[in-house]
């Protein structure tokens, strides 16, 4: 559907799409950035749908003893999302409907794997998901806050703490930078997993 000025909408996050057009006209100077808001009016609607899908999957999980219902739900969301993406591309910036379906599908399949390991097979290492999940909001907030703070704190004229840690302790000549980037990411996740374990053992549960 053409925009009011007759131009054809694109999927660029900040120009020529209906989500951005409505945000500019209704929110004006209250947008997160002058030309873009990731939590705008229209993009919030499919984001709410993502939340509702999570609630429905949670209800499906309640009392469940086998993985088939979760497996079917996750696969169905994925197939529908990828098919829909042919007509409405996957786009995180404007939180497109196909993005909702595909991310919900992958999230459900990951949850299926965790449920299978922890609740069906009773593997002891499955408790790691419990340690993190019981303080998920706290870990999410801290990881975001610490990460942004580390980008702001400079070490030397060019590096911030993130790049200094990565280049000082995780970069070696015998593997690719992509590999060491993965190792760095695993180290960060492991650190927050240990935090989740510590809080769980101390019975510290912070909820919103």
HSE, side-chain direction, 13 A CA sphere, residue 65: 0
Cα 124 to Cα 135: distance, rounded to the nearest angstrom: 19
pLDDT tens readout for residues 13-50: 767 788 888 888 898 888 888 778 888 888 899 999 99
Average pLDDT for residues 68-93, to the nearest whole number? 95
pLDDT tens readout for residues 122-149: 888 778 888 999 999 999 999 999 999 9
Q: What is the dihedral of CA 142, 137, 98, 56, to 10 degrees?
A: 170
**Domain boundaries along the sequence of the chain:** 18-122, 131-201
| Eight-state DSSP code of residue 8 | P
Helix (H) or strand (E) holding 80: helix 68-84
Neighbour-count burial for 69-84, b at 16+ CB within 10 Å, e otherwise = ebbebbeebbebbeeb
Supply the pLDDT for residue 110. Answer: 94
Helix (H, G, I), strand (E, B) or coil at 134: coil
């Amino acid at each position: 559907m053409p925009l009011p000025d007759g131009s054809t909408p694109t999927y660029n996050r900040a120009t020529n799409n209906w989500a951005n057009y409505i945000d500019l006209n209704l929110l004006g100077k209250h947008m997160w950035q002058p030309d873009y808001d990731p939590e705008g009016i229209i993009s919030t609607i499919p984001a709410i749908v993502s939340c509702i899908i999570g609630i429905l999957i949670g209800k499906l999980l309640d009392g469940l003893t086998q993985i088939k219902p979760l497996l079917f739900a996750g696969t169905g969301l994925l197939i529908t999302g990828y098919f829909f993406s042919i007509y409405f591309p996957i786009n995180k910036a404007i939180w497109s409907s196909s993005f909702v379906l595909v991310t919900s599908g992958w999230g459900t399949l990951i949850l299926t794997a965790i449920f299978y390991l922890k609740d069906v097979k009773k593997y002891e290492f499955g408790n790691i998901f419990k340690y993190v999940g019981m303080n998920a909001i706290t870990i999410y907030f801290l990881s975001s806050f610490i990460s942004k703070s580390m980008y702001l704190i400079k070490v030397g004229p060019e590096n911030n703490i993130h790049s200094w840690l990565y280049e000082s302790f995780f970069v070696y000549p015998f593997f690719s930078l992509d590999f060491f980037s993965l190792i760095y990411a695993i180290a960060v996740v492991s650190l927050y997993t240990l935090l989740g374990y510590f809080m769980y053992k101390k019975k510290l549960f912070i909820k919103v």
